[in-house]
Structures are given as structure tokens and as C-alpha cells.
């Protein structure tokens, strides 16, 4: 048997599945496409997660587009993270091109243009359905991990959540969280210490700085209501196609904190909401995370542990995760080891670091007698990749150099008018377009603080009135005493004066009489 015949037999055996599957492209050997030797992906294994990697311009986004539209045609809903803004064309059919026809002729089946039902989503001011989530939905553990808090600070966050739960103060957005944190360290300090213990002001200051950092990346527009229902990601259109939800993220490329915050919350919500499915014939939802390094590069160890746990567990919910990035090294090894489908586009090796990364990337793939993997990775053309997936028994398929089929939809972005037209037809836009700002912890605590101030002012006023009343009574008593004293003194003075005058009068009379007697006596002689 020749090498070519051996190769074709190996590929056909390795990529033939009992369940439903779709064609990704045609197998290649020594740079030649083996016509009618298809590389297929089984739907049953699409919840085993995957990786699409390769250098800039190697065709990662188009591979993502191919897989998404094939899943949609098989009634599998898809969520795409469109960081570069080049995936919107999936909503309209391809215009076709002679090179596309030539490519498909080599692979062995004709090209058919097509489109997929699309829903545009947004985290910020981009056009589309606004995604929001409340602080409460994150919970104290996840919220602390997003902020990168230490154990002491995380304990304070846990106390804050418990306090709001005990007193029914809704934690909806960041201003609710900040107001509650300020209240517990100022006006409510004694109240919180009596029940939950002392709170360090230094730790509170550190938490507040973390919140400010998150706000500076635009998270204040993400936290709030109305919360997005993850079940809305699992819809089919009237023709039974899975709706492709495209989250437009072109304006947050420089805000990795916001992006990772959203992604972790979304995965946690999906895991908490979706029922256990076990092994099913096809996934309920497939999520593609483009520019995946944004999720991992600034993540703390605690956050990485959380992501790893979710990647391991979310498979049982019927959800597949696909990380799209430039180099497999962008994805932590603990996560990389959980991925079943791996599609590697060309890598560049211009520096010593590049060559080291290239060698490590080659070691991520099964051994093969047909390729020198490390060399092949630098020779892949645009629209070519090496592929391996899991068969229905969970065993990796043979490594295959693949010429990828062309996307059936447009390989370019939509115009603003086309996007506006799709948004106007959206079923979800009215449901989530207007933010809801109901009474929450911010308003309740402000009212509580204001009531306390009013009560304090009333108490101060009452104390002043009582003080003034006591002062007035004291003055009246002092005046009465003074008048009495003065009255007694005057009486005594008058008495003394009268007595003195009487005495003087009497003495005067007596003096006159005595003189007269002396005079009379002298006249006798």
C-alpha cells in the first residue's frame, strides 16, 4: 500500500462517525488535496470544547465562521464574541468567487451560498441588545475573584452581601455596592460591628479602589437591570436554524477586565441555570471566545481556578466552549488539557521565543507518520490548518492537514444600514433596550441616612429647646430669689432707718428736755 493510499484509508476510518456531523474541509498530504477525503466534525463531541489558534491573518475568524454557520444549520444555537468586528457578514449570503469554486472543486463538493439567523448583542454603546447583570447574580465569591481580593477583603464582601440579604437591600449595580460599603464603615459602623464584627477601614479602601478600576473599564454600564436571560441564547428561528448571537466587542479591546468579568459571569450563569444533560447527540449551545487571551492575561490565580472549574463542569450542561487565539500558549495548560477539537493555523517563528512556542504547540497534537508537525505549522497557507478532534468514543482522531471549506456567508462586515435593519427586526431589542433603575440599596440607604440625619436634627433641636427651657427656669428662680433677698434687705433697711429716726427723734426730745431742765435749775440759784 502506498503512502497516499495508507493516508486516505487512515483519514476515512478516523473521520467516519455514526452520528450527525458536518464537513470542515478536505484532507491534504504533501501539499496536495485528497479530493473526496473529508475532514468531518461530529456534533456529539462539540460540547467537549475546542481551540482555534494561529497567527494574525492565517484564517482563524473564517474557520470560526464556518463552524458557526454549520452548527446553526444543524439547529445548534451559537454565541460569538466578535472582538475585531469582522463576523457580522454571517447574516447574509456569500457573493461567491471563482477562487471559492476552485477550492471546493479540490475538496470534492460544490459551493452553496447561505446565511444564518443573527442577533446582535452589546455590552456598551455598540448597536444591539444590551447585556446586563446584577451584583447579586455574581454572588460574593465570584465578585471577589473578579476584583482580585485577598481573603480578608473577600470576607468583607461576604459580610456586605449577608447584610443586604438580611435587610432585603437589593444589590443591583456598582453604586449600590459602593453605597453599602460606605454605609457599613460610617453611619452603620456600630450596627454592623455588633452583629458581624469589625471591618478594617484599610481593607475597605482597597476594595473601593478595585471598584473604581472596574468602573474605569466601563463596568458601570454592565451592572444593572434588566438582567439578560441566558435562555435567550438558545433560540431557533422559524426554519429550525440555531440563532447565532454576535456579541459586538470592538470598543472594549482595551478593557480586558470588563471582558473577563462578563465572560465569567455568563459561564457561571449558564452553569447555574441549565439543567444536567449528560451525553447528548448535539450541544444545546456553543460559545466561541475570540481573542481569548483577553480572558486569561490579567486573571488572578483564583479567577483562573474558577474558569478551569467551569470548563470542566459545563460540558455536562450540553455547552461547548471554543477559545480563539493566536497561540495555544495563551490558554492555561489546565484549560488546554480539557479541549477536544483543536484547529491550528499557521504559526510564525521569527524569534527564539517563537521557535520555542512552535515546538510546544506541535507537542499538543497527536503523533503522526504522515507529517513533520513542527515544520508543517510554519508552512500552512491561508485557509489551511492541522485538525484533530474526538471521535464518538472520545478518542483523538488522526492529525490531518486540512484545506478548509469556504464560509457560505459573506466574508466581510455588514454596512451600518444592514446592521440597523437586522436590529429593527430583533425580538429581544425591546425586551432589553431600556435600563431599569428600581429602588435598591443605594436609594434605601440614602433614605435611611437622611432619616437618621433628620432624627438627629430633631434630637438636637429638642435638646436645645430643653436646654433653653431649663436656662429660662433657672433665671426665673434666680430672679425670684434675688427679689426676695432684695425685699428682705429693703425691709431691714427701712426698719433700721425708721428705728434710727425714731431713736434720733427720741434722743432729740430727750436732749431738749434735759437742756431745759438744766437751764431751769441754773435759774433757781
Chain centroid to CA 47: 24
Asked if 519 and 386 sit in the same domain, the reply is no
Task: Indicate whether 446 belongs to any domain.
Answer: no
Quote the pLDDT of residue 163: 86
Asked if 362 and 422 sit in the same domain, the reply is yes
Task: Indicate whether 185 belongs to any domain.
Answer: yes
Secondary structure element (H or E) that encloses residue 225, with its range: none
Quote the pLDDT of residue 498: 46
Can you tell me whether residue 110 is helix, strand or coil?
A: coil
Quote the pLDDT of residue 300: 66
Task: Indicate whether 445 belongs to any domain.
Answer: no
Within 13 Å of residue 499, how many CA atoms lie on the same side as its CB? 6
Please say which residue of 219, 242, 274 terminates a domain: 219
Pull the grid cell for residue 6: 495508507
Asked if 215 and 274 sit in the same domain, the reply is no
Task: Indicate whether 26 belongs to any domain.
Answer: yes
> Under a CB-based contact definition with an 8 Å cutoff, are residues 316 and 281 in contact?
no
Asked if 282 and 396 sit in the same domain, the reply is yes
Phi, psi of 127 (to 5 degrees): -70, 135
Query: What CATH number should be reported for the domain holding residue 56?
Result: 3.40.50.300
Instruction: Return the closest-CA partner of residue 88 out of 514, 413, 515, 447.
Output: 413
Contacts of 357 (CB under 8 A, 6+ apart): 327, 329, 347
Asked if 152 and 245 sit in the same domain, the reply is no
Q: In DSSP terms, which residues pair with 108 in a beta bridge?
A: none
Asked if 95 and 242 sit in the same domain, the reply is yes
Task: Indicate whether 359 belongs to any domain.
Answer: yes
d(CA 129, CA 116): 18
Pull the grid cell for residue 431: 425586551
Please say which residue of 190, 219, 248 terminates a domain: 219
Asked if 239 and 310 sit in the same domain, the reply is yes
- Residue ranges in 382-440 assigned as alpha helix (H): 416-424, 429-432
d(CA 339, CA 311): 9
Q: Strand 341-344: give its sheet, edge to edge.
A: 32-42, 21-29, 400-404, 384-388, 341-344, 50-53, 319-325, 285-290, 78-82, 244-248, 118-122, 129-130
Asked if 383 and 483 sit in the same domain, the reply is no
Quote the pLDDT of residue 456: 66
Quote the pLDDT of residue 516: 45
> Under a CB-based contact definition with an 8 Å cutoff, are residues 143 and 214 in contact?
no
SS (H, E, C) 116-156: CCEEEEECCCCCCEECCECHHHHHHHHHHHHHCCCHHHHHH
Task: Indicate whether 439 belongs to any domain.
Answer: no
Instruction: Return the closest-CA partner of residue 265 out of 230, 290, 291, 231.
Output: 230
Q: How many domains does the chain have?
A: 3
pTM value? 0.80
Task: Indicate whether 201 belongs to any domain.
Answer: yes
Query: Which residues of the chain carry a pLDDT beneath 70?
Result: 188, 252-253, 298-300, 302-303, 451-456, 471-525
Q: What angle do CA 272, 278, 284 make, to 5 degrees?
A: 65
Quote the pLDDT of residue 235: 94
Can you tell me whether residue 200 is helix, strand or coil?
A: coil
Asked if 125 and 154 sit in the same domain, the reply is no
Peptide bond into 226 cis (omega under 30): yes
Asked if 112 and 246 sit in the same domain, the reply is yes
Pull the grid cell for residue 104: 471546493
Asked if 462 and 406 sit in the same domain, the reply is no
Q: In DSSP terms, which residues pair with 325 in a beta bridge?
A: 53
Quote the pLDDT of residue 499: 47
Please say which residue of 409, 426, 443 terminates a domain: 426
Print the domain residue range for 212.
Answer: 135-219
Task: Indicate whether 434 belongs to any domain.
Answer: no
Asked if 336 and 471 sit in the same domain, the reply is no
Amino acid at each position: 500500500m502506498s503512502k497516499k493510499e495508507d493516508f486516505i484509508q487512515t483519514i476515512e476510518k478516523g473521520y467516519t462517525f455514526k452520528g450527525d456531523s458536518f464537513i470542515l474541509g478536505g484532507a491534504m498530504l504533501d501539499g496536495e488535496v485528497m479530493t473526496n477525503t473529508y475532514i468531518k466534525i461530529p456534533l456529539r463531541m462539540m460540547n467537549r470544547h475546542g481551540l482555534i489558534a494561529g497567527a494574525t491573518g492565517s484564517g482563524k475568524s473564517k474557520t470560526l465562521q464556518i463552524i458557526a454557520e454549520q452548527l446553526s444549520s444543524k439547529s445548534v444555537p451559537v454565541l460569538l464574541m466578535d472582538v475585531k468586528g469582522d463576523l457580522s457578514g454571517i447574516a447574509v449570503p456569500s457573493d461567491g468567487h471563482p477562487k471559492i469554486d476552485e477550492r471546493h472543486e479540490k475538496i470534492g463538493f460544490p459551493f452553496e451560498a447561505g446565511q444564518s439567523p443573527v442577533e446582535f448583542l452589546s455590552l456598551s454603546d455598540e448597536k444591539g441588545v444590551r447585556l446586563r447583570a446584577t451584583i447579586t447574580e455574581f454572588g460574593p465569591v465570584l465578585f471577589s475573584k473578579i476584583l482580585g481580593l485577598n481573603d480578608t477583603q473577600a470576607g468583607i464582601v461576604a459580610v456586605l452581601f449577608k447584610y443586604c440579604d438580611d435587610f432585603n437591600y437589593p444589590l443591583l449595580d456598582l453604586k449600590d455596592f459602593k453605597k453599602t460599603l460606605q454605609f457599613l464603615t460610617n453611619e452603620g459602623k456600630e450596627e454592623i460591628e455588633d452583629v458581624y464584627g469589625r471591618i478594617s477601614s484599610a481593607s475597605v479602601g482597597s476594595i473601593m479602589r478595585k471598584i473604581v478600576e472596574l468602573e474605569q473599564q466601563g463596568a458601570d454600564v454592565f451592572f444593572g437591570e434588566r438582567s439578560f436571560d441566558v435562555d435567550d441564547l438558545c433560540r431557533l428561528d422559524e426554519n429550525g436554524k440555531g440563532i447565532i448571537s454576535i456579541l459586538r466587542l470592538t470598543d472594549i479591546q482595551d478593557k480586558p477586565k470588563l471582558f473577563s468579568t462578563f465572560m465569567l459571569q455568563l459561564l457561571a450563569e449558564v452553569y447555574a441555570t441549565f439543567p444536567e444533560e449528560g451525553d447528548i447527540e448535539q450541544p444545546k449551545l456553543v460559545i466561541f471566545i475570540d481573542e481569548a487571551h483577553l480572558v486569561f492575561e490579567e486573571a488572578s490565580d483564583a479567577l483562573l481556578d474558577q474558569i478551569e472549574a467551569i470548563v470542566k463542569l459545563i460540558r455536562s450542561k450540553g455547552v461547548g466552549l471554543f477559545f480563539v487565539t493566536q497561540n495555544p500558549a495563551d490558554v492555561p495548560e489546565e484549560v488546554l488539557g480539557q479541549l477536544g477539537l483543536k484547529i491550528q493555523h499557521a504559526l510564525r517563528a521569527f524569534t527564539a521565543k517563537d521557535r520555542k512556542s512552535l515546538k510546544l504547540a506541535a507537542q499538543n497534537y497527536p503523533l503522526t507518520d504522515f507529517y513533520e508537525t513542527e515544520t508543517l505549522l510554519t508552512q500552512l497557507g491561508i485557509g489551511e490548518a492541522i485538525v484533530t478532534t474526538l471521535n464518538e468514543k472520545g478518542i483523538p482522531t488522526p492529525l490531518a492537514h486540512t484545506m478548509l471549506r469556504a464560509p457560505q456567508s459573506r466574508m466581510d462586515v455588514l454596512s451600518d444600514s444592514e446592521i440597523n435593519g437586522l436590529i429593527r427586526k430583533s425580538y429581544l431589542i425591546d425586551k432589553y433596550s431600556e435600563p431599569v433603575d428600581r429602588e435598591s440599596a443605594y436609594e434605601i440607604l440614602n433614605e435611611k441616612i437622611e432619616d437618621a440625619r433628620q432624627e438627629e436634627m430633631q434630637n438636637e433641636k429638642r435638646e436645645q429647646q430643653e436646654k433653653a427651657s431649663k436656662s429660662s427656669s433657672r433665671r426665673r428662680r434666680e430672679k425670684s430669689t434675688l427679689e426676695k433677698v432684695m425685699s428682705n434687705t429693703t425691709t431691714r433697711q427701712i426698719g433700721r432707718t425708721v428705728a434710727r429716726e425714731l431713736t434720733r427723734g427720741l434722743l432729740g426730745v430727750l436732749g431738749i428736755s434735759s437742756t431745759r431742765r438744766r437751764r431751769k435749775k441754773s435759774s433757781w440759784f
